[in-house]
Structure 1
Amino acid sequence: MPANKKYLTPSPWQRFAKISAAILGGLMVAVTFHMALASCFDHVTVIITCTFSAFILWAVLMVLAFLGKNGWKIWGIYLLASVLLGVIFYFGNQTHPIV
């Protein structure tokens, strides 16, 4: 049974934006989230936990990317989240440097 056409994304650029945001953007957010956690908490514990929780977070972010109507908005949200988490990581490293 074929998919209903009204639920499919008509534009190939929107499809590309959703797929790339799901794969690359979700990975960026998952990694920067765990980097920010490692700069604020015990980095050894966060790295050990990251092996499982980063994959789960990435999978959730991939699903969320396909739920949105506009792939470029999803990219914007993921880039903004990555920048904010990167700033947290930067300032967390300044106050608690990893030796």
Structure 2
Amino acid sequence: MPANPKYLTPSFWPRFLKITAAILGGYFVSITFHLALAAWFNRAAILMTMAFTGFILWVALMVIAFLAKSGWKIWGIYILLSLLFCLFIYLGQTYNQPAH
């Protein structure tokens, strides 16, 4: 049974934006999230569990990207989340430096 045409994306760019947001945007959010956690908590433990939880989060973010109505909107959300987590990484490295 073929798919209903009203649910298919007709043009190239919306489909391309969703695919790239799912793969690249989801990866960036997943990695920056775990690095932000590592900047504030036990770095070794976070980075060891990142191999598993990072993949699970990445897959969840892929699903969310394909459920979104607009590729531009999901890219904007993923970029803002990545920048927010980069800010947390910066602050964590600034305030959690060991004393020399």
Q: TM-score with structure 2 length normalisation? A: 0.95
Cα separation, 1, equivalents of 2:57 and 2:87 = 20
Kindly, what percent of the aligned residue pairs are identical? Answer: 56
Classify the secondary structure of the residue corresponding to 1:77: helix
Deviation at 1:11, TM superposition (A): 1.9
Deviation at 1:49, TM superposition (A): 0.8
Which residue of 2 is the match for residue 48 of structure 1? Answer: 48
1:63 partnered with 2:59 = no
Gaps of 5+ in 1: none
Cα separation, 1, equivalents of 2:64 and 2:97 = 34
Alpha-carbon RMSD across the aligned residues, in angstroms, is 1.3
Deviation at 1:75, TM superposition (A): 0.2
Q: Deviations over 1:53-97 (max 9, x none)?
A: 000000000000000110010000000000000000001000113
Q: After TM superposition, which residue ranges in structure 1, 4 or more long, deviate above 6 angstroms? A: none
Gaps of 5+ in 2: none
Aligned residues, how many? 99
Q: TM-score with structure 1 length normalisation? A: 0.96
Q: Deviations over 1:32-65 (max 9, x none)?
A: 0000000000000001110100000000000000
